[in-house]
């Protein structure tokens, strides 16, 4: 059959798409768009139709593939840790653990191992906000020479439950209530606190979850913990218990509760944006990596069981040995392909690292693999690039399966086999010397469904945590429980929690009851009477993090007629110390300074409130200030900065705005013209002494 010559087939032909956009045709393979299977596409703007205004034809495979792929772009989100942010980086070992492990990633000093790290909230869905009161996941995938090592932990060193069989109950309780579908990403409701009151083993974790640790300032400023107890095995297979720790170089820092709530409204992606922008600007987040090491005898001598995930090992009992550092220096190229498809498995461990009998960890060894099969839809999820072993090849005799991407050669997919060519082995074989081996822990007891008696003390560690806090942090913790329990509608649920708190600290229980204006019930009867432990300063935040502008952000509110010299002086001083500066103006177009120059704005006042900064400066003209006195966003800018204990620098012409916002004089409110150095000093930390004057705490 004769075919007509295609009009405009020249490689240099230009044409207009349906929207008027210009398309330059090209025959260069590296520039032309294709189907998923490599077929070049001639038109990606218009469906194939029976006439210009006719029906779309079923034969249009370009349309069908494009729409079908779009329809399936989302995969089931994680049941927990659904909302995550991630980055690439490296781990560098600085101190060898060759005496206790044969894992090369922990023995080869100076070697750099590629890592991918995912931070996450726990309770909310993928579309929830970044700043709820919640635990933060801290999962690190090391692409080691001996396979992937996934250290899957949290920013809190303990957990709510002792046995994994309770995990579905915990998550069902904290998630949206089954009949009404709310609240989202919040623990302040009946079902969660009902579970907590009935599970005294959760009390220690509640102290952490209600502390400032659960409302972090930045993902760059959270600690990370392996949570569970693991083992290390050396060349002689001698076991050593280990706890893993990540320490942020910027220090562990938090927000105020009211501030976290307002950030959620001002910038739901606050933590994700903060992490991305810091890395993009070259301010790479860094953590120290440390271990607590114990022999079996040392573990047995402790007054608690290290296999109990609701307990921690105080640093004063077993110091943390810092052995390396981790730097995050590259943002993901594609959120879905990397951050969303990343699959972390506690079962991913190189030879020389092993699990313990911790019953929470034992359940996780199954759960994580199982959930990835559901989410990613195939046993071949390890072939997704973000999950693929990079430091070494992966090879075995497992074949086929949904979405198999490798083409395996040969007849034999089993072992042992004898079908190899002369001089070759019949596929990969086990390595008895260099392969993964489990610790030879003797087993000889009967099968039971019992909780170890050594797990029965539910309050000593909760008491240790609460009493180790500063007065400021104790007040925050008590106020957080008051807030949460104020959302509980059932009296018996509230009373049970209050009764359990009586075993933690009598004053804490009284403060919470007084904050709720309810009668305090007598303490519940504990299975084991709590003991007083030596207080641990390491459990605090306040007074522990470095006072520095590095990693912190300062917002400068300006108006037309502002003094550009002061703006520039503040900017240079802050940036010289490693801080970031953003200019906020009444309108996004910026302002005209006193000298007639235009100053570009990074944010518009109503959309860039002071809650997203660590300190603020008000550089206003007299006329500009007069206009802002009629603007609620400006008044709140100053009011919130003061209420959230931030340093406030100001020029004389801005004083009327401070007065209207109720900002009182204190060391953190500084006249920039008189002593700008005092503003910088105050901006390095929060003004904790101000707090009693600005809010009522439990």
Residue-wise DSSP of 607-673? GS-GGG-SEEEEE--HHHHHHHTT-HHHHHHHHHHHHTT-EEEE-GGGHHHHHHTTPPP-TTEEEHH
CB within 8 A of 45, min separation 6: which ones?
Answer: 17, 18, 19, 21, 23
Exposed / middle / buried, residue 149 (Cβ in 10 Å: 0-12, 13-18, 19+): buried
What mean pLDDT do residues 303-327 have? 97
Q: Is the pLDDT of residue 14 over 80?
A: no
Could you report the per-residue pLDDT of 428-461, keeping only the tens digit for each?
A: 778 888 888 889 888 878 888 889 999 999 999 9
**Is residue 679 a contact partner of residue 670, using CB atoms and an 8 Å limit?**
yes
- End-to-end CA distance of the chain: give it in Å, rounded: 88
Query: In degrees rounded to 5, what are phi and psi of residue 16?
Result: -100, 135
Confidence of residue 23 (pLDDT cuts 50, 70, 90): very low
Q: Is the pLDDT of residue 487 over 80?
A: yes
How far apart CA 75 and CA 421 sit, in angstroms, is: 43
Checking 636-640 for CB contacts under 8 A at 24+ apart, the result is 636/609, 636/610, 636/661, 637/557, 637/584, 637/605, 637/609, 637/610, 637/661, 638/610, 638/663, 639/663, 640/259, 640/262, 640/609, 640/610, 640/611
Query: In degrees rounded to 5, what are phi and psi of residue 338?
Result: -110, -70
What mean pLDDT do residues 199-221 have? 98
| CA angle, residues 203, 205, 210, in degrees to nearest 5 | 95
Tell me the whole-structure pTM to 2 decimals: 0.92
Give catalytic status of residue 644 as yes or no: no
Could you report the per-residue pLDDT of 512-546, keeping only the tens digit for each?
A: 999 999 999 999 999 999 999 999 999 999 988 89
CA 515 to chain centre: 31
More confident call, 659 vs 62 = 659
What mean pLDDT do residues 176-192 have? 96
Q: Is the pLDDT of residue 15 over 50?
A: no
From the candidates 148, 154, 387, 495, which is the catalytic residue? 154
In this predicted structure, what is the pLDDT of residue 421?
64
Query: Of 648, 639, 641, nearest to 672 (Cα)?
Result: 648
In this predicted structure, what is the pLDDT of residue 428?
77
Q: Look up residue 160 and give its two tokens.
A: 């709510």
Cis, bond preceding 416 (omega within 30 deg of 0):
yes
From the candidates 81, 88, 204, 245, which is the catalytic residue? 81
Q: Which of 64-68, 137-141, 149-153 has the lowest mean pLDDT?
A: 64-68
Could you report the per-residue pLDDT of 344-394, keeping only the tens digit for each?
A: 999 999 999 999 999 999 999 999 999 998 899 998 899 999 999 997 777
**Buried b vs exposed e over 345-375: b needs ≥16 C-beta within 10 Å?**
bbebbbbbbbbbebbbbbbbeebbbebbeeb
In this predicted structure, what is the pLDDT of residue 28?
65
Domains in the chain, start-ordered, CATH in brackets? 85-387 (2.40.180.10), 458-539 (1.20.1370.20), 553-694 (3.40.50.880)
Q: Which residues on adjacent β-strands are paired with residue 324?
A: 93, 289
In this predicted structure, what is the pLDDT of residue 2?
39
Round the average pLDDT of the chain to a whole number and report it. 92
What mean pLDDT do residues 597-608 have? 97
Q: Is the pLDDT of residue 5 over 70?
A: no
* HSE-up (13 A, CA, CB side) for residue 576: 8
In this predicted structure, what is the pLDDT of residue 78?
94
Residue with tokens 């603020």: 616
Query: Of 501, 472, 467, nearest to 484 (Cα)?
Result: 501
Rounded-to-5 percentages of helix, strand, coil across the chain: 30, 15, 50
Give the number of other Cβ atoms within 10 Å of residue 422's Cβ.
4
How far apart CA 38 and CA 41 sit, in angstroms, is: 9
Give catalytic status of residue 154 as yes or no: yes
More confident call, 612 vs 402 = 612
Could you report the per-residue pLDDT of 258-308, keeping only the tens digit for each?
A: 999 999 999 999 999 999 999 999 999 999 999 999 999 999 999 999 999
Q: Strand (E) positions, 192-285? A: 224-225, 230-233, 239-248
Q: Which residues on adjacent β-strands are paired with residue 254?
A: 216
Percentage of the chain beyond pLDDT 90 is 78
How far apart CA 584 and CA 590 sit, in angstroms, is: 8
Residue with tokens 């007299």: 622
How far apart CA 153 and CA 223 sit, in angstroms, is: 10
Q: Which residues on adjacent β-strands are paired with residue 23?
A: 15
Q: Look up residue 245 and give its two tokens.
A: 């720790």
Residue with tokens 């177009």: 589
Could you report the per-residue pLDDT of 329-340, keeping only the tens digit for each?
A: 999 999 999 999
What mean pLDDT do residues 572-586 have? 97
Give 104's DSSP letter.
G
In this predicted structure, what is the pLDDT of residue 523?
97
**Is residue 413 a contact partner of residue 438, using CB atoms and an 8 Å limit?**
no
In this predicted structure, what is the pLDDT of residue 25?
46
Could you report the per-residue pLDDT of 608-665, keeping only the tens digit for each?
A: 999 999 999 999 999 999 999 999 999 999 999 999 999 999 999 999 999 999 999 9
Give 655's DSSP letter.
H
Q: Look up residue 447 and give its two tokens.
A: 């099968």
What mean pLDDT do residues 104-120 have? 98
Q: Look up residue 682 and give its two tokens.
A: 């105050």
* HSE-up (13 A, CA, CB side) for residue 693: 13
What mean pLDDT do residues 4-31 have? 44
In this predicted structure, what is the pLDDT of residue 424?
56
More confident call, 10 vs 46 = 46
What mean pLDDT do residues 111-115 have? 97
In this predicted structure, what is the pLDDT of residue 22?
39
């Amino acid at each position: 059959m004769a075919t007509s010559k295609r009009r405009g087939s020249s490689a240099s032909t230009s044409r207009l798409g349906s929207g008027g956009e210009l398309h330059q045709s090209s025959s260069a393979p590296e520039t032309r768009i294709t189907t998923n299977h490599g077929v070049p596409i001639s038109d990606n703007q218009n469906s194939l139709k029976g006439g210009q205004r006719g029906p779309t034809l079923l034969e249009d495979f370009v349309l069908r593939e494009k729409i079908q792929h779009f329809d399936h772009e989302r995969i089931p989100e994680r049941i927990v840790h659904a909302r995550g942010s991630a980055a690439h980086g490296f781990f560098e070992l600085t101190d060898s653990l060759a005496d206790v492990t044969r894992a090369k990633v922990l023995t080869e000093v100076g070697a750099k191992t590629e890592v991918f790290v995912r931070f996450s909230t726990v309770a909310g869905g993928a579309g929830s906000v970044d700043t709820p009161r919640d635990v933060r996941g801290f999962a690190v995938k090391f692409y080691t020479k001996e396979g992937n090592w996934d250290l899957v932990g949290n920013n809190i060193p303990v957990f709510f439950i002792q046995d994994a069989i309770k995990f579905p109950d915990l998550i069902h309780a904290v998630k949206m209530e089954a009949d009404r579908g709310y609240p989202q990403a919040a623990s302040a409701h009946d079902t969660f606190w009902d579970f907590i009151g009935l599970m005294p083993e959760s009390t220690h974790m509640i102290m952490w979850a209600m502390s400032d640790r659960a409302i972090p300032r930045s993902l760059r400023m959270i600690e990370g913990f392996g949570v569970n107890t693991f083992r290390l095995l050396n060349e002689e297979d001698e076991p050593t218990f280990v706890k893993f720790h990540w320490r942020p170089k910027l220090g562990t820092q938090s927000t105020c509760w009211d501030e976290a709530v307002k950030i959620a409204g001002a910038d739901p992606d606050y933590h994700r944006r903060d992490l991305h922008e810091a890395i993009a600007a070259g301010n790479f987040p860094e953590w120290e990596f440390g271990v607590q090491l114990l022999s079996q005898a040392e573990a047995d001598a402790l007054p608690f069981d290290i296999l109990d995930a609701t307990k921690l090992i105080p640093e004063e009992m077993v110091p943390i040995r810092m052995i390396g550092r981790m730097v995050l220096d590259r943002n993901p190229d594609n959120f879905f392909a990397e951050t969303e498809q990343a699959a972390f498995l506690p079962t991913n461990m190189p030879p020389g690292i092993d699990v313990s009998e911790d019953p929470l960890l034992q359940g996780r060894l199954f759960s994580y693999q199982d959930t990835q099969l559901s989410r990613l839809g195939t046993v071949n999820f390890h072939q997704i690039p973000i999950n693929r072993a990079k430091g070494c090849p992966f090879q075995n005799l497992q074949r086929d399966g949904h979405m198999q991407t490798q083409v395996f050669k040969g007849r034999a997919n089993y072992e042992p086999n004898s079908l190899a060519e002369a001089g070759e082995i019949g596929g990969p074989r086990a390595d008895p010397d260099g392969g993964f081996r489990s610790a030879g822990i003797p087993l000889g007891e009967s099968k039971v469904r019992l909780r170890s008696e050594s797990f029965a003390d539910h309050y000593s560690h909760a008491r240790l945590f609460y009493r180790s806090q500063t007065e400021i942090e104790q007040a925050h913790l008590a106020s957080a429980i008051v807030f949460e329990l104020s959302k509980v509608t059932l009296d018996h649920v509230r009373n049970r929690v209050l009764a359990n708190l009586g075993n933690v600290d009598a004053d804490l229980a009284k403060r919470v009851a007084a904050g709720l204006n309810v009668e305090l019930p007598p303490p519940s009867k504990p299975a084991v009477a709590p003991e007083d432990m030596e207080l641990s300063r390491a459990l605090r935040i306040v007074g522990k993090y470095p006072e520095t502008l590095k990693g912190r952000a300062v917002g400068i509110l300006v108006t037309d007629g502002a003094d550009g010299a002061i703006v520039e002086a503040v900017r240079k001083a802050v940036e010289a110390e490693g801080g970031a500066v953003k200019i906020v103006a009444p309108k996004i177009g910026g302002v005209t300074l006193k000298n007639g120059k235009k100053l570009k704005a990074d944010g518009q006042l109503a959309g860039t409130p002071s809650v997203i900064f660590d300190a603020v400066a008000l550089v206003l003209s007299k006329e500009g200030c007069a206009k802002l006195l009629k603007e609620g966003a400006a008044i709140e800018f100053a009011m919130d900065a003061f209420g959230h204990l931030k340093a406030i620098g100001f020029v004389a012409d801005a004083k009327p705005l401070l007065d209207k916002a109720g900002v009182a004089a204190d060391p953190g409110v500084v006249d920039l013209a008189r002593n700008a150095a005092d503003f910088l000093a105050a901006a390095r930390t929060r003004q904790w002494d101000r707090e009693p004057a600005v809010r009522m705490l439990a």
